[in-house]
């Protein structure tokens, strides 16, 4: 006789998964494939998700690290994270047909950086070293005009005088950690100029808030996202800091069932680059082992849509 499945209440965070910037970037590659045929080259992972990248590859996208791998006669798409100015310049120099899938909210930070430099300020950029968005943003300004700050401890080490400073941030940071770094910066440099509006994007903030909203009701939490996805890593951190053991998984096959155990409640969320299909796959895997009741915990509805490049919709 089959053993009865233990009951499990699954709280599905909302919003979760794809944001408007990721959606737009994927559509740009899909439309470029429709318009120009395969292969369409993509510089770097279009978004940080292996499943998305593999699907686009199966449609004819070719992912490369650098522009010199792109033949002169093929279109190339730049990823959602943004690129240093030198990249479109090099593409234009070779007369490549390039499409920029940089999220408009990342481009907004780029333009702010340019304006601050034009005002004669030095920028302190709060972000994670080596992340493509950070590399892209540093590439908007002359070398030496921006300093990376990762932690509160970094602020104490800064050897800069107060005056003519400004700060900007990566779009996918922890809201709480960033607030602490900003407080430290403002204490150390009282005249530092803040961005007009929050640089951490709506999708990052909303997904973190949605995790905070369900965490008190969850014994454990699964976060679907790639290990190199900054906003997904932050979601797991948010849950952990609220005392909820959380694991980042790429898809259902990564679930460590010993770790899951037999909790009464489990939270599920997904980073901004994780497709809903992978969320469904995880929910189905849970339903195969537990008698699941699902609850969508709609915290903050989203309806953001970004325009596609004119050359693809005309």
Catalytic residues: 133
CB of 231 vs ligand SF4, minimal distance in Å: 5
Nearer to ligand SF4, 29 or 285 (CB): 29
**CA 49 remoteness from chain centre:** 10
Nearer to ligand SF4, 155 or 203 (CB): 203
**CA 86 remoteness from chain centre:** 23
Nearer to ligand SF4, 91 or 103 (CB): 103
**CA 295 remoteness from chain centre:** 25
Asked if 173 contacts 152 with a C-beta cutoff of 8 angstroms, the reply is no
34-63 burial, b at 16+ Cβ within 10 Å, e below that, comes to: eeeeebbbbbbbbbbbebbbebbeeeebbb
Binding residues for ligand SF4, rule: CB under 6 A, are 19-22, 80, 103, 105-106, 171-172, 201, 203-204, 231, 272
Asked if 53 contacts 250 with a C-beta cutoff of 8 angstroms, the reply is no
CB of 178 vs ligand SF4, minimal distance in Å: 14
Beta-carbon count within 10 A of 15 CB:
21
The residue written with tokens 């430099």 in the block is 117
Nearer to ligand SF4, 101 or 166 (CB): 101
Nearer to ligand SF4, 133 or 184 (CB): 133
Structure tokens, 134:
């950070």
CB of 273 vs ligand SF4, minimal distance in Å: 8
Asked if 205 contacts 172 with a C-beta cutoff of 8 angstroms, the reply is no
Residue nearest ligand SF4, CB atom distance: 21
Structure tokens, 297:
């915990």
CB of 260 vs ligand SF4, minimal distance in Å: 27
Distance CA 19, CA 273 (A): 7
């Amino acid at each position: 006789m089959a053993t009865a499945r233990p009951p499990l209440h699954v709280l599905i965070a909302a919003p979760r998964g794809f944001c408007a910037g990721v959606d737009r970037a994927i559509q740009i590659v899909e439309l470029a494939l429709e318009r120009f045929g395969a292969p369409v080259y993509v510089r770097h992972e279009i978004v940080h998700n292996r499943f998305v990248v593999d699907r686009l590859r199966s449609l004819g996208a070719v992912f490369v690290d650098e522009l010199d791998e792109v033949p002169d006669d093929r279109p190339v798409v730049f990823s959602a994270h943004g690129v240093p100015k030198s990249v479109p310049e090099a593409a234009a120099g070779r007369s490549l047909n390039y499409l920029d899938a940089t999220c408009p909210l990342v481009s907004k930070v780029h333009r702010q950086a340019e304006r601050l430099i034009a005002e004669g300020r030095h920028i302190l950029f709060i972000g994670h070293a080596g992340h493509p968005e950070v590399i892209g943003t540093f590439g908007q300004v002359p070398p030496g005009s921006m300093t990376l700050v990762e932690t509160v401890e970094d602020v104490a080490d800064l050897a800069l005088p107060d005056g003519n400073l400004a700060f900007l941030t990566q779009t996918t940071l922890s809201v709480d950690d960033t607030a602490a770094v900003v407080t430290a910066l403002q204490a150390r440099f009282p005249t530092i100029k803040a961005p007009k509006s929050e640089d951490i994007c709506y999708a990052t903030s909303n997904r973190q808030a949605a995790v905070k909203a369900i965490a008190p009701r969850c014994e454990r939490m699964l976060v679907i996202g790639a290990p190199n996805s900054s906003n997904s890593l932050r979601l797991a951190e948010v849950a952990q800091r609220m005392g909820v053991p959380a694991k980042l998984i790429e898809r259902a096959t990564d679930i460590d069932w010993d770790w899951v155990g037999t909790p009464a409640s489990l939270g599920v969320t997904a980073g901004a680059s994780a497709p809903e299909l992978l969320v469904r796959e995880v929910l189905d895997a849970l339903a195969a082992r537990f008698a699941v009741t699902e609850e969508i915990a709609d915290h903050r509805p989203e309806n953001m849509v970004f325009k596609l490049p004119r050359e693809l919709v005309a």
